[in-house]
Structure 1
Amino acid sequence: MINLWAEAQRQREAQERARAQRERDEERRARAAERARARDQRERQAAYRRQREADARRRTEELEARVEALGSLLVDGCRAAPFDPAGLERPERVEPFDAGALAHPVPMPDQRHYQPQGGWGFGSGRREREEARERYERDWRAAQAAEAERVRRLDAYHRQYERWAAQQLAEIRRHNEGVADLVAEVRAGDPDAVVEYFTAALYHTAYSSYSSPVWPDGLPREVSAAYDPAARQLVLDWELPRYDIVPEVKSVRYMYNADEDRETARSATQRRALYRDVLAQCVLLALRDLFAADGSGALESVALNGFVDDHDPATGHRARIVLATVTVTRTAFAALRLEQVSAVDCLVDGVRGRLSTRPDQRAAVTPGRTPDDVGSGLLTQGGGDEPDLHAMDPIDFESLVADLFRAMGMRAVTTRRSNDGGVDVEAVDPAPIRGGRIVVQVKRYRGTVPPTAVRDLYGTVQDSGANKGVLVTTSRFGPGSHTFAHGKPLELVSGAELVDLLHRHGLRGRLGDGAAAGSASPSPDVPDHNVLGMSWTGEVALDVCALVCDGDRVLSDDHFVFFNNPRTPDGTVRALPATAPDRAAVRVAFDALPPEADRLVLAAAVDPEVDPGADLAGFTDARIRLLDATGAEVGQLEVSDGRPGETALVLGSFRRRANGDWDFVIGGKGYPGGLEALVREYGIDVA
């Protein structure tokens, strides 16, 4: 009994141990399953996070790629092949003839398949042989009839194909002949043909497979155009992209804790700058496509107004809002290297166009010539050649100037020939703030316009109460004229500037044989030199000198006029004895200066022999009197005072403008090393 009890006890203990082991195993399995579930949860969360982060990176990369594409629009466009009218032609080929099932003849019955039981031999019955022969003959006749029907249908189908192919070829040939006729009409200057051709060129580069499209997807393509054959000018309104072309979002980042994508907005300044750049690129690229497509020389110039179709912020109505406008000649545009330019600088400064400063707010610019202006009677100078402005009838010349003001968007009329009060043209600029009434005087001179003409115009402006006076000439203006006009409501338009304005606005005109305005010798009654009289307060002894320069380099040592070299080799600049109230004087024949010279620099330095220890602290109240050849004062120019420790000073420089006129720019840079340090900077070796 004891043994039985002990054995039962051992079994109970073993069962208890087994139960405890099972519980422990189940707990381990539960903990392992929990760890596995947690691990799976972490892996799913990590995968989800990686996916969301990847999506955010992808969106950011797409935004960056879109911005990069917008920034490289012009460069990419310049790589595309120019439009060729051959791209409009269609090849003379049609789909070849395909007979389909009719190409296969109907199979004829095989007599071997119609043998009676036992063959055609002696053992077969007569009736069986006749039935087999009848079946064969019946099927053979049916096959012959089917084949005849197939041949008939094939012949009819082939004749139908030949008629269709002939129509297709005729249509292709008519199309190609139309393209050839269009090109011929473009060469002949037919306005409708020119508009059709260049409109096709703009659309072709954007859409067709002729070349890869260079315009981004989503850009509008509306265009209206007109051609002026007399001026050989294409005038068009070209639709530009709206502000939403530039992404509002700069980047996207996934925020794990909030489980959401957080967008970083592009700054308004950056977005506006990029939008202006896109507008400028679109305008320049359109001009590039037009001039590149002109293989027949139909375009002397292009006037393009870029607009957006949007709500006018002033009225709330849908309208065409002009954000960019430019008129450029073929020659000027061909001189550009579009792959290297800054689009905005090129449009505004390079080709002198206008671009809205706040296009994001739809701030419009005044358009230049529009398609509606073509044929409005502005171009009335006569034949196909450029008229010589010097040889034009005075009344015609005044009418041409009035036409120019009207082409610039103003209302302008010529005045009566008597009692006009010195006014040849009256114009009204409708632009707010800067606009108003303008009086215009027209001078057909060959020599430099005297300052007295500018003084007379100023008196006319004051007497008439006009907002501005404009003096237009076929010649040029001297420094005296610009000095007097500085700071006054006057604008001086030289001959070179006049010709440029005429061409930019679809009008025509030239100066004689094409020489620069004012290149002819001055008339006897026109001053041919000026005297620069310099004065200052203080007792310091100074040497006044002049340097004839190309940029910041003197032309040669002989073109440095000072006490040891009183004149240049050609005598255009020379020192003169000063007369009161001047303490120094220089005579300058501006029109006769060497063509490579673009500035005349005036400087003053302490005389080290007279005042060895002096500086320019006492050089104050300095000024330059501008005198004409008769000694009459035509203006005064302020210059900077001296400073302690400096012994030489640049007083200022007269700089030649692109039209040949000379403007004065005040100086002020001082040198403690005296005249030697000053002239060394202008390329003179004083060693």
Structure 2
Amino acid sequence: MRDPPTDRFLCYIAEKYAYGMLTQSSSIEPSPPPPFFPPKPSGLQKLVPGARERHAQEVLRLQERHRNQITEHAEREQRRQYSLAGARSDHEKKVDAQRRKVEEQHAEIDAFHRDLKSGSPSAITNYFTLVLTSSEYPEGFPQQAKVAYIPESKQAIVEYDLPSLDVIPAVSTYKYLKTKDAITESARSLAQRKTLYASVLSQVVLRTLYELFKADRMGYLETTVLNGYVESLDKGTGHTMRTCLVTVRTNQDTFNKLNLKLVEPEACLKVLNASISKSPSELAPVRPVMELNMVDPRFIESTDILSTLDQRVNLMELTPNEFEGLITNLFQKWAWKPGKRRPHAMGALTVSLLTHDPFSAARLLYRQNATKIR
């Protein structure tokens, strides 16, 4: 027997299908009652002239009616059986289709679960995307997320869409006036809306970080970079633009030490060294700590050239691959996370170097030509 997924979240995203029961449109009709024979005349009735003849005629009439009822019942039963066979066939087809759908869905979930347990980066990104899109928010919160994952450093980079200022109602209170049978509104000041909006953004960011770390039951996340974006219309160009209003990078150990029940959201983000827009309502941007396009899935293992060199080696005599390995090894000694890309066309090579220090987050690209070291 196939073992079901053990993770509760995977069980949660699995839909429950019911095959249903076959319902008959018409019940089985009972056989008609036995023929009724009127009692024979007795006593004074026998003295009435023609009583016996009338009784015999009534018996013949009832017998004929009963035979007609039997014939009609047989015809109705034949039609009912034909209709029932069609309904049963349609029901079996629906059950088979539903069963195939359930089996396909279970197979997809089982494959997803296996990939997730094996540490597949695509499965990990899909898993955390499902976590974020499954959260319940009020109307007006977009809940769109893009997730990238760096398995070497167990780091997730998340772009999460935040609500616009419109999510804060412009009306503060409603009041019913009985004398006028009308409802009046009290406007909320713009300053109050801006304050509430900044608090809402901070709360969403903290909640998103909490959900990511809480859902990490397999230990895939050590560090998370979260960039909060707001999508709006650029009135100057008429095109849609995306503005980063909050960016934060933190690790799970630091975040788990927070008492989120007692923190003030904006102050808590400052403790996490987050960059917050000075004016979120006016879409004043901040520079993301790290963007999704900085995560390149083409990293491969680098070669250890540094350990094979000594002071007598002429650097100009190194091959392009050896020189690239040297650059990689040097930065690795400085706590950078190196990765070597595959060679490009025309022999060009590129080294991508990434630091995971939250106080000096950066990415360095070094490119050389195979025929000449630059």
TM-score, normalised via structure 1 length: 0.40
Deviation digits for residues 147-200 of structure 1 (CA, Å, limit 9, x no counterpart): 233234324422432332232233223223322321221222223322322222
**Residue 402 of structure 1: how far off its partner (Å):** 10
Does residue 366 (structure 1) correspond to residue 291 (structure 2)? The answer is no
Deviation digits for residues 544-580 of structure 1 (CA, Å, limit 9, x no counterpart): xxxxxxxxxxxxxxxxxxxxxxxxxxxxxxxxxxxxx
Match of 1:396 among 328, 342, 347: 328
Does residue 345 (structure 1) correspond to residue 345 (structure 2)? The answer is no
Q: Secondary structure at the match of 2:28?
A: coil
**Residue 297 of structure 1: how far off its partner (Å):** 2.5
1:504 & 1:323 partners in 2: Cα distance? 18
CA contact (8 A) 1:187 1:298 kept: no
2:34 & 2:276 partners in 1: Cα distance? 91
Distance 1:197 1:262, change over 3 A: closer
CA contact (8 A) 1:117 1:124 kept: no
Letter of the 1:396 counterpart: T
Map 1:368-447; keep pairs closer than 5 Å: 368-375=289-296, 382=302, 395-399=327-331
1:363 & 1:405 partners in 2: Cα distance? 32
1:87 & 1:260 partners in 2: Cα distance? 43
The equivalent residue for 2:10 is 85
2:239 & 2:114 partners in 1: Cα distance? 43
1:236 & 1:318 partners in 2: Cα distance? 20
Map 1:287-326; keep pairs closer than 5 Å: 287-312=209-234, 317-326=239-248
**Residue 342 of structure 1: how far off its partner (Å):** 1.6
CA contact (8 A) 2:289 2:361 kept: no
Does residue 100 (structure 1) correspond to residue 25 (structure 2)? The answer is yes
The equivalent residue for 1:199 is 129
1:314 & 1:253 partners in 2: Cα distance? 39
Map 1:544-563; keep pairs closer than 5 Å: none
Please say which of residues 282-291 and 160-169 is displaced more in the overlay: 160-169
Letter of the 2:11 counterpart: A
Deviation digits for residues 122-142 of structure 1 (CA, Å, limit 9, x no counterpart): 644766544442332122022
1:320 & 1:233 partners in 2: Cα distance? 23
CA contact (8 A) 1:114 1:135 kept: no
More relative contact order, 1 or 2 (CA 8 Å, 6+ apart): 2
The equivalent residue for 1:451 is none
Distance 1:402 1:217, change over 3 A: farther
1:297 & 1:166 partners in 2: Cα distance? 40
The equivalent residue for 1:109 is 32
The equivalent residue for 1:234 is 156
Distance 1:262 1:335, change over 3 A: closer
**Residue 362 of structure 1: how far off its partner (Å):** 0.7
RMSD: 4.0
CA contact (8 A) 1:116 1:132 kept: no
Distance 1:342 1:382, change over 3 A: farther
Q: Secondary structure at the match of 2:249?
A: strand
**Residue 322 of structure 1: how far off its partner (Å):** 0.6
Distance 1:339 1:403, change over 3 A: same
Deviation digits for residues 358-389 of structure 1 (CA, Å, limit 9, x no counterpart): 11111101123223332265x56659xxxxxx
Q: Report how many residues are paired.
A: 310
The equivalent residue for 1:501 is 358
Deviation digits for residues 425-447 of structure 1 (CA, Å, limit 9, x no counterpart): xxxxxxxxxxxxxxxxxxxxxxx
Distance 1:183 1:176, change over 3 A: same
CA contact (8 A) 2:245 2:285 kept: yes
CA contact (8 A) 2:150 2:295 kept: yes
Is there any run of 5+ residues in structure 1 with no aligned partner, and where? 1-81, 207-214, 384-392, 407-497, 508-687
CA contact (8 A) 2:302 2:328 kept: no
**Residue 344 of structure 1: how far off its partner (Å):** 1.2
2:94 & 2:183 partners in 1: Cα distance? 62
Letter of the 1:86 counterpart: C
Q: Secondary structure at the match of 1:500?
A: coil
Distance 1:107 1:288, change over 3 A: same
**Residue 400 of structure 1: how far off its partner (Å):** 5.5
Letter of the 1:164 counterpart: K
1:232 & 1:503 partners in 2: Cα distance? 18
Q: Secondary structure at the match of 2:227?
A: strand
Distance 1:105 1:127, change over 3 A: same
Q: Secondary structure at the match of 1:285?
A: helix
Is there any run of 5+ residues in structure 2 with no aligned partner, and where? 1-6, 43-50, 304-324, 339-354, 365-374
Match of 1:218 among 140, 160, 164: 140
2:226 & 2:279 partners in 1: Cα distance? 19
Letter of the 2:32 counterpart: P
* Rg larger in structure: 1
Q: Secondary structure at the match of 1:112?
A: coil
Does residue 181 (structure 1) correspond to residue 115 (structure 2)? The answer is no
**Residue 285 of structure 1: how far off its partner (Å):** 0.8
Identity rate of aligned residues, in percent? 25
Deviation digits for residues 392-435 of structure 1 (CA, Å, limit 9, x no counterpart): x86225556999799xxxxxxxxxxxxxxxxxxxxxxxxxxxxx
1:253 & 1:141 partners in 2: Cα distance? 74
